[in-house]
A and B are shown apart, each in its own frame.
Chain A
Amino acid sequence: MNEKVNEKQKKDEILRILEENARLSDNEIAKMVDMDEDEVKSIISELENSGIIRKYKALINHDKTGIETVHAVIDVKVNPERNTGYDSIAERISRFPEVKSVRLISGEYDLSVLIEGKTMHKVAYFVAEKIAPLEGVRNTVTHFLLKTYKENGEMYEEEEKGERLAVTL
């Protein structure tokens, strides 16, 4: 029992470490959690195989890349279907590559959909041509994103930090 709890804790700790920085080597992680490198390797591949770790990606501040991209959040009101509820319509919407995320939400609307496109025009057309006409979609509202301040727990504008002294005893 105790061993199981311990293993669960180590797994959680490894996830926390990777969520913060996925580029650490197995060796570095092993040191941090006080385990063998091989043990860390096997835990990570187990996490990957079981689908807990979905992917390793970079968090990019697109405003700084100079490449124009436009994002919009679309609120979608739908008619849930018999048997499948919201799942089948959500899945249909999810399959478009322009769609970056789809979430079921509470409130006046049912789905919150994040769309990425090259221009505002393209995003607007995508909504009008691909999302709105879908069977079961009753209504949509499009919110274009103007600026990102924080994403996935990271501030996009570096917080100004007072400088520490190099030496304090």
Chain B
Amino acid sequence: MQLSFLKEGSSQVIHKKKKKGMKSNRVADRVKGLKGSGIREFFDIAQQTEGAISLGVGEPDFVTPWSIREACIFSLEKGYTSYTSNWGLLELREMISDKVYTDDSVYYDPEGEILITTGVSEAFDLAVRAIANPGDEVIIHEPSYVSYKPCTLFTGGSPVCVDTGVEDEFKLRAEKLEQKITDKTKAIILSYPNNPTGAALSIKDLEEIADVVTEHDLLVISDEVYGKLTYDGKHTCFSSLNGMKDRTILLNGFSKAYAMTGWRLGYAAGNKDIIEAMMKIHQYIMLCAPITAQMAAMEALRTNDEMEQMVSEYNRRRRLMVEGLREIGLSCFEPKGAFYTFPSIENTGLTSEEFAKRLLLEEKVVVIPGSVFGASGEGFIRCSYAVSQYEIKEALKRMGRFLEGHRVV
């Protein structure tokens, strides 16, 4: 997502008396309720600062592998420019079904249990709209990606946040989750490997959550778009756990693993009735995902040599950055997935927003204040290592210099 996000406390929809003919009433209240904040200005400056090194990126620095681009060009030459089935190309759904079965040992029927979407963003929106009634509570762990809360609000549902902390390595703990469950709780959102923290859950962590889910008869929306970018052991798909397939809407896509962010292609897999409900919304708002992206995605699934190389390169950069951050005096939890580090900046005495603003102004390095991802992100900054090794080293040098001037003794 670019530049738009919610701030803590902005979630209430503001109801004002309607004044006829006034310009201020042209925008619907529920959208007005989404407030930006001063930080938006900071992001604008960040975009425009010449010579800045950005660790604020949320996408791979690799261009989509050539074989994928080439396959897409070929499909255009062949004239594949039409709509596809609302569900997406059957051949692609079959390939996804095979891939998920091979990698994660959970089988989805390509006819009825898989829906191709325009990115995971759309898939998430569909998922929450398909299951949440007004008043239903949806539990979201924080810090996490910025669109879960607003999308939940659009449905009339209530997002309920549960904080995760560095003492738990930013894992969602079953006990903490259970404390937030009420009789209105409909679903929980699981977003691991996590943006912004880089945290990942072990099988044991997941099983504990699964027990809570079963006990309270909940649904799970599991956003696993960073699943292929896991560095310490293998990612476990939540729906592969015993009894979880029927309760889970698995979301995944091609953006992160195949460096295909701009193609906007994702998918949802889950229970037939829920996927069918999602498809109903999808057919009216999107009709289908772009065929060019679908053709490219099939090639991505056919060849994954380059993906493995990308993952090992991220892993090198991850270590380089984590060690580097520690060397310049920031305590940094070891991220296990995605391509973010989430160091603490508490010892500077600055808020994460102040830290980011001053760092940009004084040393021209862009980082994202942790507070953007929820209140529990305060005191941390998100630094992406989806940048070159050179940029990592240079950014660390500049940050080290910055910290010399700001360290609280």
Binds B, one of A65-73, A79-87, A157-165: A157-165
Interface flags, B37-75, vs A, CB<8A=1, else 0: 000000100110100101011110101000000000000
Chain B positions 366-398 with a Cβ under 8 Å from a chain A Cβ: 366, 368, 372-373, 389, 393
* Bound-state Cα–Cα, A31 to B315, Å: 11
B2: Cβ under 8 A from any A Cβ: yes
* Bound-state Cα–Cα, A162 to B320, Å: 26
A148: Cβ under 8 A from any B Cβ: no
Q: Which residues on B sit within 8 Å (CB–CB) of A13?
A: 312
Q: Which of B63, B146, B372 has a CB less than 8 Å from the CB of A159?
A: B63
Q: How far is the CB of A157 from chain B (nearest CB, A)?
A: 14
* Bound-state Cα–Cα, A32 to B146, Å: 31
B176: Cβ under 8 A from any A Cβ: no
Contact A166 B57 (CB under 8 A): yes
Contact B2 A165 (CB under 8 A): yes
Contact A167 B5 (CB under 8 A): no
Contact A167 B54 (CB under 8 A): yes
Contact A31 B63 (CB under 8 A): no
B285: Cβ under 8 A from any A Cβ: no
Q: How far is the CB of A17 from chain B (nearest CB, A)?
A: 7
A39: Cβ under 8 A from any B Cβ: no
By CB atoms of chain B within 10 A, which of A17, A24, A32, A34 has the most? A32
Interface flags, A132-169, vs B, CB<8A=1, else 0: 00000000000000000000000000010110111111
| Shortest Cβ distance from B42 into A: residue | A167
Q: Which of A24, A162, A166 has a CB less than 8 Å from the CB of B56?
A: A166
Interface flags, A19-63, vs B, CB<8A=1, else 0: 001001000100111100000000000000000000000000000
Contact A165 B389 (CB under 8 A): no
Interface flags, A118-137, vs B, CB<8A=1, else 0: 00000000000000000000
Q: With A21-B389, A159-B63, A161-B63 known to touch, is A168 a contact of B320 (CB < 8 Å)?
A: no
Contact B389 A167 (CB under 8 A): no
Q: Which of A21, A164, A169 has a CB less than 8 Å from the CB of B372?
A: A169
Q: Which residues on A sit within 8 Å (CB–CB) of B5?
A: 169
Q: Which residues on A sit within 8 Å (CB–CB) of B2?
A: 165, 167-169
* Bound-state Cα–Cα, A69 to B57, Å: 42
Q: With A164-B61, A168-B58, A169-B146 known to touch, is A17 a contact of B316 (CB < 8 Å)?
A: yes
* Bound-state Cα–Cα, A28 to B392, Å: 11
Contact A167 B43 (CB under 8 A): yes
Contact A166 B316 (CB under 8 A): no
Q: With A21-B389, A161-B63 known to touch, is A166 a contact of B323 (CB < 8 Å)?
A: no
B277: Cβ under 8 A from any A Cβ: no
Q: Which residues on A sit within 8 Å (CB–CB) of B46?
A: 166-167
Contact A169 B368 (CB under 8 A): yes
Q: Which residues on A sit within 8 Å (CB–CB) of B76?
A: none
B3: Cβ under 8 A from any A Cβ: yes
B266: Cβ under 8 A from any A Cβ: no
* Bound-state Cα–Cα, A36 to B46, Å: 37
Q: Which of B47, B312, B316 has a CB less than 8 Å from the CB of A167?
A: B47
Q: Which residues on B sit within 8 Å (CB–CB) of A34?
A: 319
Q: How far is the CB of B115 from chain A (nearest CB, A)?
A: 25
Interface flags, B159-198, vs A, CB<8A=1, else 0: 0000000000000000000000000000000000001000
Residue pairs across A and B with Cβ atoms less than 8 A apart, 28 shown, are: A17-B316, A21-B389, A28-B320, A31-B319, A31-B324, A32-B316, A32-B317, A32-B319, A32-B320, A161-B63, A162-B63, A162-B262, A164-B54, A164-B59, A165-B57, A166-B54, A166-B56, A167-B2, A167-B43, A167-B46, A167-B47, A167-B54, A168-B2, A168-B56, A168-B58, A169-B1, A169-B2, A169-B58
Given contacts A32-B317, A166-B46, A167-B2, 18 further A-B pairs with CB under 8 A are: A24-B389, A28-B320, A28-B393, A31-B324, A32-B320, A33-B319, A162-B63, A164-B54, A164-B57, A165-B2, A166-B52, A166-B56, A167-B43, A167-B46, A168-B59, A169-B3, A169-B145, A169-B368
Give residues in A with beta carbon < 8 Å to B: 13, 16-17, 21, 24, 28, 31-34, 159, 161-162, 164-169
